[in-house]
Amino acid sequence: MKDEEEVVVKVTKEIVVKFIEVGRLSVNSFEEVWNQIYKTVSESITKKQG
């Protein structure tokens, strides 16, 4: 895994964990929310580097 991908996964994980802690994320919507957050974080990192 490239360093950039590792950062995206770690940041996404932290955001998802916070959403779970505050009750904003349920098991039923986990996959959809994970994918949306991952995409957003990935695009943000790519834009900053480009």
Q: Round to whole Å and give the CA distance between 29 and 14.
A: 17
pLDDT at 31: 95
Q: Is the pLDDT of residue 32 over 90?
A: yes
Measured CA to CA, the distance from residue 35 to residue 23 in angstroms comes to 18
Work out the pLDDT band at 1, boundaries 50, 70, 90: low
Using 50, 70 and 90 to split pLDDT, how confident is the model at 47? confident
As a whole number of angstroms, the distance between CA 29 and CA 31 comes to 6
Query: How confident is the model at residue 2, as a pLDDT?
Result: 86
Confidence of residue 21 (pLDDT cuts 50, 70, 90): very high
The predicted structure's pLDDT at residue 48: 67
- Cα dist. 3→6, 9, 10 in Å? 5, 10, 11
